[in-house]
Amino acid sequence: MIDILNTEENFGIQELYELKIKTTSNMRIGDRLFTEGETVLYFSNAELSLLDENLVLRRSSGGNQNRNLILWRDIQSVRFGIDKGVLSELDLHLLLDNKIAVQEAILVNKRERKTADINGVITLSEGPLGKIFAYQETVNGFEKNVTGTVSSNKTIDFGIANASANFIVDYTYNYSQIANYFIGSNELSGIFRVEAKTRLKDDVEGKEKTGIIIIPKVQITSGLNIILGSKATPIVGNFMFTAISTSVVDKKQSPSEKNTVYAMYILDTDIDAI
């Protein structure tokens, strides 16, 4: 038995698994040509939330004084958010190998108070990138823009004349404990299809059932950040896409998807129960 829910009511936040973003036509993404129906992004787990809807109020009127007889809402589009999407390392490498995702540095600003050694050298906690702004302490406070020589990755030599002097140093460094990858929205332009599974509990029997979520037409409207810790699974931060109403039925499209923004099919059992 399958129940079909084609409604936005009580959607809330859905815990999903096996979420797939698929192509709806042949398209080139990065260095790879994807064929129609091929999975571009696969998340083993993710959270899906409904953010807002674009509604049109329609009415049918007639009879005495041309009164409104029927009122209904026509959903034109719905904006969704995906959060905490879990990628496998294999999927991440496929994105990188095909130049769909690129690595980006995580730049962090840091300010440190340091005392120079007997040679006028200070050692920073991190390796600075770009400009360094150093301020030497004097009897009147701090003197602006003292010049020193970066003699190694983390040390600055202010000269022996500044031995034991105190300094404030502002700089930027690359946070390397995690890797940050980015997929630009321009790389994922076009129309995609979203398919996913969720688990629901029957209010009467208390039985867990599988829900199949289908969003036939989506446009990805933001970039994706993928964070990878030294011992962590790749996690995708929040990104957004817009589901668009399917006003025309494609030959390969299920009749139940006609004029659909999204639908959920509830099966009569948990098909993935262990």
The domains found in the chain, sorted by start residue, are 2-104+178-267 (no CATH), 107-174 (2.40.30)
Distances (CA, A) of 106 to 33, 110, 163, 177, 257: 30, 13, 34, 10, 42
Place of tokens 């690359």: 174
Condensed to tens digits (0 to 9), the pLDDT of residues 124-163 reads: 999 888 888 889 888 777 776 677 777 667 899 888 888 9
Say which DSSP state 35 is in: P
Distances (CA, A) of 37 to 187, 224, 253: 17, 21, 12
Burial code (b: 16+ CB inside 10 Å, e: under 16) for 221-233 equals: eeebbbebeeeee
Residues 205-231 have pLDDT tens digits of: 778 899 999 999 999 988 888 877 665
- Residue pair 261/241 in contact (Cβ under 8 Å)? The answer is no
Q: How confident is the model at residue 34 (pLDDT cuts 50, 70, 90)?
A: very high
Alpha-carbon span 269 to 171, nearest angstrom: 57
